[in-house]
Amino acid sequence: MILLDTHVVVWLASAPGQLSKAAGRILKQHPATLHISVVSAWEIALLVKRGRLELPLPPGEFISRAIRHHGLVELPLERRVAERAVALPDIHNDPFDRILVAECLERGGTLISRDTTLPRYPRLRVVW
C-alpha cells in the first residue's frame, strides 16, 4: 500500500512537475496500490475554504476526478487508526499528518511526502 500525502494528491492531479523523481518513479511503478485517505479530501476542502489552496474545480469534483484518473483507492478513517494517531509520539502537531502516519503504520504502507518531519517516526517508510 502506498499512501499519498495531501500535497502529493494535489500535485499528481494538477502539477506533476512538483513531484520528486523518486516519488514519480514509485507512482509509475505501483499504480494499482496508490491510496488517498479520506482525511486528505477533508484537508483539501479545508485549505480551499480558508483560501490557502486554489483549485481549477470545486474540491469534491477535483478529488473525485483525481481518484478516477489515477486509479486511487480511498481509505476511510477507521477507529483503530484514529486511536493510533493520538498515541503516536509528539513529533508532528498536524492532526492530518498524524492520521496519515497512523494509516501507514497500521497497514504496513509507504507514505509519499516531502514533509521532512515525517521520517522521524519510527518504522514509517517515507519516500520523497
Q: Give pLDDT tens digits for 33-87.
A: 999 999 999 999 999 999 999 999 999 999 999 999 999 999 999 999 999 999 9
Residue 94 in grid coordinates: 498536524
Q: Hey, what CATH topology would domain 2-127 get?
A: Rossmann fold (3.40.50)
Spatial contact of 7 and 36, defined as CB atoms under 8 Å apart: no
In our burial notation (b when 16+ CB lie closer than 10 A, e otherwise), range 73-106 reads eebeeeeebbebbeebeeebeeebbbbbbbbbbb
pTM, 2 dp? 0.94
Spatial contact of 61 and 24, defined as CB atoms under 8 Å apart: no
Q: Domain coordinates of the chain in residue numbers?
A: 2-127
